[in-house]
C-alpha cells in the first residue's frame, strides 16, 4: 500500500514537471519569439503580416514567396509602416533600400556646359571662298581649270573667253587714245569701261600700246585655294554676272554642329571647343563658337552652331563628320545625374535624403531643370549644393511613396495658381520681411526700421485689390493686417516695441505663405515658446536654422521649426498649439 502511494506521488511529480516543461516551451518560446520580433506588425487578430522587400505592396498573413519576383517574404515591421505627418517625406526601411539598390550622392556645382558633346560636319569657310563671275557676255573658248578639287594658285589662268563686246570696248579705247589730249574725258571713259570688264591696268596698257583689239581674254584666279565649283564647260555661252568658278582656301574652316533646343541655352559665342575626328581618334583640334543660329530647323528640331577652326595639313575636309566637346564658360551650376530625375512635364522630381535612423527618409522635391550635359541635368532651382539625393532606385522610392499615399511623381501636390506680376511683387515683399526679421534677430533697430519702411512702400505698389479669383478676399484681409502691423512697427520707439508688432506681422505672412505657398523656395514656420511670458510666438524664416527675432542675442537659438512650407503648395490655415513643448535654448 505504501509502495502504491509512492508510485502515485511520483507519477504526479512527473506530470507537474512535464507541465512546467511544456509551459516553458510554449510561453517561454513564444516570449522569446516576441522579443526577437518585437517590431513586427500584426493585424487585429494578432496575425503577423508579411511583405516583399522589393514589392512592399504585397501583403500576406503567412510567410512564402513573392508572387511578383519570387523572393522570400519578410515580416512587416512598424518601421516599414512609418507614416510621416508630412506627405513630402517617406521613410524606407534599410533592408528595402538595399534590395531596391537605392544609392545616394551629394549635389555638386560644376561648370555649366562641361563636356557638352555635339556632332556635326566640316564646311567651307565662306569668308575664305571667292566666286569668279563673268563681267561681260561671251563664250568659253578654252578651259584650263577643268575639274573641281585641284589646287589653284593666285594669278593662274583658268579660262579664255571670247566676247564681241570686249573687242568693241578695246577698239573704242584705241580710237580714244589718239585724241586723248583733246578729249581726255572720252579717253578716261574708255579705260574705265575695260576696268568694268575686269581687265587689269597692265592688260589695258598693252591694248593701248599695241593698238590691236583682241576678241578673247583670259580669266585669272584672284586667290589661291581649291577649286570647289566649275560652273562652265568649253563652248558654253555666259552672261554678265554668271558664276564661272569658286575657289576656297581651307586653312581656316567651319565646323557646323547640331544642337537640340534644350542645349542651346548653355552655348555662348566665344566658347571653346575640342574637335575630335572619328577617322583619326588620336587627333584633336581646337576652335571656338562663332555663331549660334537664331532659327530652329523644323525637320530636325536643332539649331546650327558654327565653330571656326584652324586646319593645319588640311586634316579637316569639307563634308567630314566630326564630334565636338564644348567646355564651360566659367559659370557654375548645380548638376545632378540623369538617373536622379523623374519627369512630370514642365517640372521634375528628385528625392532628397533627409535622415537615416531606422531607415532612409527621403523628401519629395520638385526641381526646375535646365539643359543636359555629359554629367547630367543642370538644376535651375529646387536644390542646394551639398544636399544628398537618390541617384539610383528612384522609381522604387517613388512607387513605395505612392502606395503609402504620399506625394509622388504620379500624385504631386496641387499648386496654388498665382498670376504675374503679383507673384513677383509678392516674392519681393517676403524677402523684405526676411530682411526685417534678420535685422531684429541681430538687434539692429535702425536697420529693422529701414526694412519696415521698405516693406510698407513696396506693399503700396502691390495694392489691396491686385489679386482676383478665389484668393481676392483673402489677400484684402492680409493686406490690411500687414499694413497695420508694419505701420506700428516703423513708428515704434525701440526694438522691444517693434518686436511686439512684429508678431502679428509674422502671423499675416505665415497665413499668406500657407494659403499661396512659398514662392521660389522652401520656407519654415518657427516657434519661440518663451516669448511674452511663455505664451510663445511664431515667425517665418527662409532658412531652417533658428535665429530668434523676438529675443535677438539674448536667446538667439531659442525655438524650433514647426512647419515646412514649399513652393506653390498651399497647406491651408490652421491654429498652432501655444503650449510649451520641447525646445532649444
Classify residue 496: in a domain, yes or no.
yes
* Burial profile 539-570: b = 16 or more Cβ within 10 angstroms, e = fewer: bbbbeeebbbbbbbeebbebbeeebbbbbbbb
Query: Do residue 286 and residue 199 come from a single domain?
Result: no
Question: SS in 3 state form for 252-302?
Answer: EEEEEEEEEHHHHCCCCCCCEEEEEECCEEEEEEEEEEEEECCCCECCCCE
What is the C-alpha to C-alpha distance for residues 26 and 21, in angstroms, rounded to an integer? 9
Classify residue 19: in a domain, yes or no.
no
What is the C-alpha to C-alpha distance for residues 218 and 353, in angstroms, rounded to an integer? 79
404-408: long-range contacts, CB 8 A cutoff, minimum separation 24: 404/83, 404/90, 405/87, 406/84, 406/87, 406/88, 406/89, 406/90, 406/364, 407/87, 407/88, 407/364, 408/349, 408/364
Residue 362 has pLDDT above 80, yes or no: yes
Classify residue 580: in a domain, yes or no.
no
Can you tell me the mean pLDDT for 358-372?
80
C-alpha cell at 306: 558654327
Can you tell me the mean pLDDT for 53-58?
61
Lowest mean pLDDT among 282-296, 306-320, 323-337, 484-498: 323-337
Which of the pair, 123 or 45, is modelled with greater confidence? 123
Q: Report the CATH number that the domain containing residue 472 is assigned in CATH.
A: 1.20.120
Query: Which of the listed ranges 212-216, 407-411, 460-464, 503-507 does the model predict with the highest average pLDDT?
Result: 503-507
- Confidence label for 20 from pLDDT (cuts 50, 70 and 90): very low
Classify residue 218: in a domain, yes or no.
yes
Can you tell me the mean pLDDT for 287-311?
91
Q: What is the pLDDT of residue 361?
A: 86
Query: Do residue 222 and residue 210 come from a single domain?
Result: yes
Which of the pair, 410 or 341, is modelled with greater confidence? 341
Of the candidates 298, 302, 359, 354, the one whose C-alpha atom is nearest the C-alpha of residue 544 is: 354
Each residue's pLDDT tens digit, 344-355: 666 789 999 887
Classify residue 410: in a domain, yes or no.
no
Query: Do residue 177 and residue 137 come from a single domain?
Result: yes
Query: Which residues on neighbouring strands pair with residue 121, listed in sequence order?
Result: 256, 321
Classify residue 553: in a domain, yes or no.
yes
Which of the pair, 369 or 120, is modelled with greater confidence? 120
Of the candidates 572, 574, 515, 510, the one whose C-alpha atom is nearest the C-alpha of residue 542 is: 510
Classify residue 543: in a domain, yes or no.
yes
Query: Which residues on neighbouring strands pair with residue 133, listed in sequence order?
Result: 243
Query: Do residue 51 and residue 132 come from a single domain?
Result: no
Last residue of some domain: 214, 248, 282?
248
Last residue of some domain: 279, 300, 326?
326
- Burial degree of 35 (CB within 10 A; 0-12, 13-18, 19+): exposed
Residue 445 has pLDDT above 90, yes or no: yes
Query: Do residue 180 and residue 198 come from a single domain?
Result: yes
Residue 81 has pLDDT above 50, yes or no: no
Q: Report the CATH number that the domain containing residue 383 is assigned in CATH.
A: 2.40.420.20
How long a stretch of residues is the chain? 585
Q: What is the pLDDT of residue 172?
A: 87
Query: Do residue 554 and residue 456 come from a single domain?
Result: yes
Q: What is the pLDDT of residue 14?
A: 53
Query: Do residue 433 and residue 561 come from a single domain?
Result: yes
C-alpha cell at 417: 495658381
Each residue's pLDDT tens digit, 373-431: 767 888 887 888 888 999 998 888 888 888 777 888 888 877 767 788 888 899 999 99
What is the C-alpha to C-alpha distance for residues 497 and 485, in angstroms, rounded to an integer? 12
Can you tell me the mean pLDDT for 289-295?
91
DSSP reduced 3-state for 348: strand
- Confidence label for 30 from pLDDT (cuts 50, 70 and 90): very low
349 and 412 Cβ atoms separated by less than 8 Å: yes
Residue 581 has pLDDT above 50, yes or no: no
Can you tell me the mean pLDDT for 491-520?
90
Q: What are phi and psi of 394, to 5 degrees?
A: -70, -35
Question: SS in 3 state form for 379-435?
Answer: EEECCCCCCEEEEECHHHHHHHHHHCCCCCCCCCCCECCCCCCHHHHHHHHHHHHHH
Each residue's pLDDT tens digit, 244-282: 999 988 889 999 999 988 788 778 888 888 888 888 888
**Alpha carbon 21 to its chain's center:** 70
Query: Do residue 428 and residue 558 come from a single domain?
Result: yes
What is the C-alpha to C-alpha distance for residues 548 and 506, in angstroms, rounded to an integer? 13
Query: Do residue 133 and residue 59 come from a single domain?
Result: no
The number of distinct structural domains making up the chain is 5
Q: What is the pLDDT of residue 28?
A: 41
Q: What is the pLDDT of residue 78?
A: 42
The whole-chain average pLDDT of the chain stands at 81
Residue 223 has pLDDT above 90, yes or no: no
Residue 27 has pLDDT above 80, yes or no: no
What is the C-alpha to C-alpha distance for residues 276 and 288, in angstroms, rounded to an integer? 14
Classify residue 408: in a domain, yes or no.
no
Query: Do residue 311 and residue 398 come from a single domain?
Result: no
Residue percentage of the chain with pLDDT more than 90? 27
Q: What is the pLDDT of residue 401?
A: 83
- Non-local (6+) Cβ contacts of 276 within 8 A are 283, 284, 322, 323, 324, 325
Each residue's pLDDT tens digit, 171-193: 888 888 888 878 888 888 888 88
C-alpha cell at 428: 519681393
Query: Do residue 510 and residue 393 come from a single domain?
Result: no
Query: Do residue 426 and residue 560 come from a single domain?
Result: yes
Q: What is the pLDDT of residue 80?
A: 44
Residue 96 has pLDDT above 70, yes or no: no
Q: What is the pLDDT of residue 575?
A: 41
Q: Report the CATH number that the domain containing residue 295 is assigned in CATH.
A: 2.40.30.170
Can you tell me the mean pLDDT for 37-43?
44
**Domain residue limits at 427:** 422-565
Last residue of some domain: 248, 270, 299?
248
Residue 487 has pLDDT above 80, yes or no: yes
Residue 504 has pLDDT above 90, yes or no: yes
Q: Report the CATH number that the domain containing residue 145 is assigned in CATH.
A: 2.40.50.100
Query: Which of the listed ranges 94-108, 213-227, 326-340, 365-379 does the model predict with the highest average pLDDT?
Result: 213-227
Of the candidates 93, 94, 57, 50, the one whose C-alpha atom is nearest the C-alpha of residue 72 is: 50
Q: What is the pLDDT of residue 35?
A: 37
Lowest mean pLDDT among 8-12, 371-375, 427-431, 522-526: 8-12
Amino acid at each position: 500500500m505504501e509502495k502504491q502511494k509512492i508510485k502515485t506521488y511520483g507519477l504526479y511529480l512527473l506530470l507537474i514537471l512535464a507541465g512546467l516543461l511544456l509551459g516553458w516551451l510554449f510561453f517561454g518560446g513564444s516570449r522569446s519569439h516576441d522579443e526577437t520580433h518585437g517590431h513586427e506588425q500584426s493585424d487585429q487578430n494578432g496575425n503577423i503580416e508579411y511583405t516583399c522587400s522589393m514589392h512592399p505592396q504585397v501583403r500576406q498573413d503567412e510567410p512564402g514567396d513573392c508572387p511578383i519576383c519570387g523572393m522570400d517574404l519578410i515580416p512587416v515591421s512598424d518601421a516599414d509602416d512609418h507614416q510621416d505627418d508630412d506627405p513630402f517625406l517617406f521613410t524606407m526601411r534599410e533592408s528595402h533600400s538595399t534590395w531596391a539598390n537605392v544609392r545616394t550622392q551629394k549635389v555638386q556645382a560644376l561648370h555649366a556646359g562641361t563636356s557638352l558633346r555635339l556632332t556635326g560636319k566640316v564646311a567651307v569657310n565662306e569668308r575664305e571662298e571667292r566666286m569668279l563671275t563673268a563681267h561681260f557676255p561671251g563664250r568659253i573658248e578654252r578651259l584650263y581649270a577643268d575639274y573641281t578639287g585641284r589646287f589653284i594658285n593666285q594669278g593662274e589662268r583658268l579660262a579664255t573667253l571670247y566676247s564681241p563686246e570686249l573687242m568693241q570696248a578695246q577698239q573704242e579705247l584705241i580710237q580714244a587714245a589718239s585724241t586723248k589730249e583733246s578729249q581726255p574725258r572720252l579717253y578716261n571713259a574708255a579705260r574705265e569701261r575695260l576696268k568694268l570688264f575686269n581687265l587689269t591696268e597692265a592688260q589695258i596698257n598693252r591694248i593701248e600700246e599695241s593698238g590691236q583689239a583682241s576678241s578673247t581674254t583670259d580669266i585669272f584666279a584672284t586667290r589661291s585655294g581649291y577649286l570647289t565649283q566649275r560652273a562652265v564647260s568649253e563652248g558654253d555661252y555666259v552672261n554678265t554676272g554668271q558664276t564661272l568658278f569658286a575657289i576656297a582656301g581651307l586653312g581656316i574652316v567651319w565646323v557646323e554642329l547640331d544642337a537640340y533646343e534644350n542645349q542651346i541655352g548653355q552655348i555662348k559665342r566665344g566658347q571653346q571647343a575640342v574637335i575630335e575626328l572619328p577617322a583619326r581618334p588620336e587627333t584633336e583640334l581646337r576652335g571656338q563658337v562663332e555663331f549660334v543660329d537664331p532659327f530652329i530647323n523644323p525637320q530636325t528640331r536643332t539649331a546650327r552652331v558654327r565653330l571656326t577652326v584652324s586646319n593645319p595639313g588640311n586634316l579637316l575636309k569639307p563634308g567630314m563628320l566630326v564630334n565636338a566637346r564644348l567646355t564651360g564658360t566659367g559659370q557654375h551650376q548645380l548638376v545632378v545625374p540623369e538617373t536622379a530625375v523623374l519627369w512630370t512635364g514642365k517640372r521634375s522630381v528628385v528625392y532628397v535624403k533627409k535622415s537615416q535612423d531606422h531607415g532612409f527618409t527621403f523628401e519629395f522635391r520638385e526641381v526646375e531643370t535646365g539643359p543636359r550635359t555629359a554629367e547630367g541635368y543642370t538644376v535651375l532651382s529646387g536644390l542646394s549644393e551639398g544636399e544628398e539625393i537618390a541617384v539610383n532606385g528612384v522609381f522604387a522610392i517613388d512607387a513605395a511613396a505612392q502606395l503609402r499615399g504620399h506625394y509622388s511623381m504620379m500624385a504631386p501636390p496641387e499648386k496654388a495658381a498665382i498670376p504675374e506680376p503679383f507673384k513677383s511683387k509678392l516674392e519681393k515683399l517676403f524677402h523684405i520681411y526676411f530682411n526685417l526679421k534678420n535685422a531684429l534677430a541681430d538687434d539692429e533697430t535702425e536697420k529693422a526700421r529701414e526694412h519696415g519702411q521698405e516693406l510698407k512702400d513696396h506693399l503700396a505698389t502691390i495694392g489691396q485689390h491686385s489679386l482676383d479669383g478665389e484668393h481676392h478676399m483673402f489677400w484684402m484681409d492680409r493686406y490690411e493686417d500687414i499694413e497695420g502691423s508694419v505701420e506700428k512697427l516703423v513708428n515704434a520707439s525701440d526694438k522691444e516695441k517693434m518686436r511686439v508688432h512684429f508678431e502679428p506681422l509674422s502671423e499675416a505672412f505665415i497665413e499668406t505663405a500657407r494659403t499661396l505657398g512659398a514662392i521660389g523656395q522652401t520656407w519654415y514656420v518657427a516657434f519661440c515658446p518663451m516669448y511674452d511670458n511663455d505664451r510663445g510666438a511664431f515667425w517665418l524664416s527662409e532658412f531652417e536654422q533658428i535665429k530668434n527675432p523676438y529675443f535677438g542675442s539674448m536667446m538667439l537659438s531659442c525655438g524650433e521649426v514647426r512647419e515646412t512650407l514649399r513652393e506653390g503648395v498651399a497647406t491651408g490655415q490652421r491654429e498652432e498649439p501655444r503650449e510649451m513643448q520641447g525646445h532649444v535654448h
